[in-house]
Amino acid sequence: MADRMTDEVRPRADIDAIDLALLAEMQRDGRATYEALSRTLGLSRPATRARMLRLLDSGVVRIVGVAHPAVFGLTAYAHVAVTVQGPVLPVADRIAALEDSAFVSVVTGEQSLIAELRSENQTTLAATIGCVSALPGVRRVSTAVYTAILKDTYFPPGPYNPTSVDDVDRRLLECLQHDGRASFAELGELVGLSTSAARTRVLRLLESGTVHVGARVHPGALGLAQVVGFGLTFDGRAQQAIAALRQMPEVDYLATAIGRCDAIGTVISHSAEGVLQLLETVRATPGVRTVESWTHLRLVKVSYDRSSSPG
């Protein structure tokens, strides 16, 4: 079942600079040992462990495994912007019910909602887009097909070196999607392996880029109230612009595409003024020709994890 997120305000934890540094390390490597984290942060092991447990208990962060979608046969991805006549939420719910929809959000602007689709191939992707276009209330669908996902909490960073994945590996991936810091002993018990065998398999999955274990931070818990998406077109300096955008820490998501725009991204800030300044920075980036933006009002579906391969 899809994870559903609304605009419900979660309790905000007391976050200091050390907590932010800890979260950054956990986003990079969610299975880092307390010893390694304590050395990086300059804290004792007990103090590091206490901070981690407090953040986990507060709901600010979850440590989860993110599997490369190709593992589950998903190789075609697209961003669709949907214009709706009439109420938007019923249409958003119908799109969220589609198996290939991974993300659905109601937004401001010319479009009524945006969605991300992940399908087995271009043929299946086209059929899913057709299903969206045929929904009652949908008046227009504008599509950008992704060519590369460059920065995404829900997509493993770094190179992907395809490796053979069997049923045991898939069960391990499911376990890591639920709890990225489960011990090798716990993982082995869950899938019927010895601790050493589980360790060997998990390390192979991590090293090949099949899965990345990292911290998934809830933006609202840190007071990051403004989430704004943008679509870009480039002039002849596309690579220069992309390199600059990837380096911006406030850019939470970035993908290149073909179709209605050349790139899709998301920025997160504490305030509307912060968003304005971020978008001004994006507009001033050499290589950026035009910027279209929209504000996310309600996340209807965020579900990037598949529990089994298609078919």
- Please report, for the domain that includes residue 34, its CATH number: 1.10.10.10
225, pLDDT greater than 60: yes
* 248 and 148 assigned to the same domain: yes
Query: Does 273 have pLDDT greater than 70?
Result: yes
Same domain, 81 and 149: yes
122: domain range? 71-154+220-299
Q: Are 264 and 231 in contact (CB under 8 A)?
A: yes
The domain total for the chain is 2
122 and 235, same domain (yes or no): yes
Note whether 28 and 144 are same-domain residues: no
pLDDT of residue 28: 85
What is the average pLDDT across 194-214?
93
Alpha carbon 4 to chain centroid, angstroms: 14
> Same structural domain for residues 38 and 98?
no
What is the pTM for the complete model shown?
Answer: 0.76
CATH of the domain at 77: 3.30.70.3460
pLDDT at 7: 37
Residue 124 lies in a domain: yes
The rounded Cα 85 to chain-centroid distance in angstroms is 29
